[in-house]
């Protein structure tokens, strides 16, 4: 089954422990640090729109892009309830298209780790650079090599709720640095009837040196990286980092 097809129905239920408001607070602080306090913001890998909704409430004009029709359907249902002015687009982040430029691009919840093929990171950076305002910023998080190798690799996680349950098995390959998630979901439909869904997800661990190289190849400026939710540099045992890139090229072209 395609990733997030079955998971979309129970994604929010199993992600109810994620402090989205705190994540948004940190992200908005970073955006403000780099001069973005309002305007158009694009979220890549927006999923069911949890963070998108929060950023819209904080005054940003939001565009959400995701490749999963089922996840976007959940996001659209939230939008209908909240009345938020959000544009959702069903697109692959490696090929996304916009009608104009945006002040910032953001991507959280390790969406960028889903770019597993050689060259994917560079292609996304090129597109982001193209659709950013002059000197606009791209802020995204990444699960680290340390996290895959030492924390979740080879781990099996299971959880049961009243109306759903899952078994999540991880297999990390050191050579390819690909983490394979085998996810088995049991979702209640009627009475005691549960439907089983099986999905396989793949994520790739990127060294910070690879991010720098991809940014250079895409023509973007690598600004900095942080240990997640701090303003400190990444540590050897950081499990999640935030990266800040800046658009480069438009200002000089305009002035020329």
114 and 13 in a single domain? The answer is yes
**pLDDT for res 47:** 92
Q: What is the CATH number of the domain that holds 106?
A: 3.40.50.150
**pLDDT for res 256:** 40
- Select the more confidently predicted residue: 191 or 130: 130
- Asked if pLDDT for residue 174 goes beyond 80, the answer is yes
Q: What is the mean pLDDT of the chain?
A: 91
**pLDDT for res 46:** 96
Nearest of 42, 50, 2, 48 to residue 24 by alpha carbon: 50
- pLDDT-derived band at 252 (thresholds 50, 70, 90) equals low
174 and 73 in a single domain? The answer is no
160 and 194 in a single domain? The answer is yes
Nearest of 112, 175, 180, 110 to residue 152 by alpha carbon: 180
pLDDT tens by residue, 75-98: 999 999 999 999 999 999 999 999
- Last residue of one domain, picked from the residues 204, 221, 244: 204
83 and 160 in a single domain? The answer is no
- pLDDT-derived band at 255 (thresholds 50, 70, 90) equals very low
**pLDDT for res 3:** 47
182 and 219 in a single domain? The answer is no
54 and 17 in a single domain? The answer is yes
**pLDDT for res 8:** 59
- Asked if pLDDT for residue 4 goes beyond 80, the answer is no
Number of domains, the chain: 2
pLDDT tens by residue, 120-168: 999 999 999 999 999 999 999 999 999 999 999 888 988 887 777 888 8
**pLDDT for res 250:** 82
pLDDT tens by residue, 28-81: 999 999 999 999 999 999 999 999 999 999 999 999 999 999 889 999 999 999
Assess contact for 23 and 108: CB atoms under 8 A: yes
- pLDDT-derived band at 2 (thresholds 50, 70, 90) equals very low
Taking residues 115-119, what's their average pLDDT?
96
Question: Which string of DSSP letters, residue by residue, matches the chain?
Answer: --TTTTGGGTHHHHTTTS-HHHHHHHHHHHHHHTT-SSEEEEEET-TTSHHHHHHHHTTEEEEEEES-HHHHHHHHHHHHHH---EEEEE--TTS---SS-EEEEEE-TTGGGG--STTHHHHHHHHHHHHEEEEEEEEEEEE-HHIIIIIITT-EEEEE-SSEEEEEEEEEETTTTEEEEEEEEEEEEETTEEEEEEEEEEEE---HHHHHHHHHHHTPEEEEEEETTSSSPPPTT-SEEEEEEE--SHHHHHH-
**pLDDT for res 51:** 96
pTM score? 0.92
Classify residue 2: in a domain, yes or no: no
């Amino acid at each position: 089954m395609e990733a997030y097809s079955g998971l979309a129905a129970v994604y929010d239920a199993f992600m109810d422990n994620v402090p989205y408001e705190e994540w948004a607070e940190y992200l908005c602080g970073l955006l403000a640090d780099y001069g973005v306090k309002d305007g158009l913001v694009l979220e890549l890998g927006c999923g069911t729109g949890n963070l998108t909704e929060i950023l819209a409430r904080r005054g940003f004009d939001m565009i959400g892009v995701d490749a999963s029709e089922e996840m976007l359907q959940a996001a659209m249902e939230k939008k209908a309830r909240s009345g938020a002015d959000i544009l959702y687009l069903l697109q692959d982040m490696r090929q996304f298209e916009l009608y104009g430029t945006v002040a910032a691009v953001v991507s959280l919840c390790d969406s960028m780790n889903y770019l597993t093929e050689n060259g994917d990171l560079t292609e996304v950076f090129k597109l982001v650079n193209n659709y950013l305002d002059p000197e606009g910023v791209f802020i995204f998080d990444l699960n680290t090599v340390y996290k895959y190798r030492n924390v979740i690799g080879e781990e099996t996680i299971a959880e049961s709720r009243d109306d759903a349950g899952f078994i999540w098995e991880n297999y990390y390959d050191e050579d390819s640095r690909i983490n394979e998630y085998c996810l088995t979901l049991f979702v209640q439909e009627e009475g005691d009837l549960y439907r089983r869904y099986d999905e396989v997800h793949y994520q790739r661990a990127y060294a910070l040196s690879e991010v720098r190289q991809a940014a250079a190849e895409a023509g973007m400026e690598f600004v900095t990286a942080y240990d997640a939710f701090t303003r400190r540099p990444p540590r050897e045992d950081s499990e999640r980092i935030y990266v800040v890139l800046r658009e480069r090229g438009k200002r000089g072209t305009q002035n020329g």
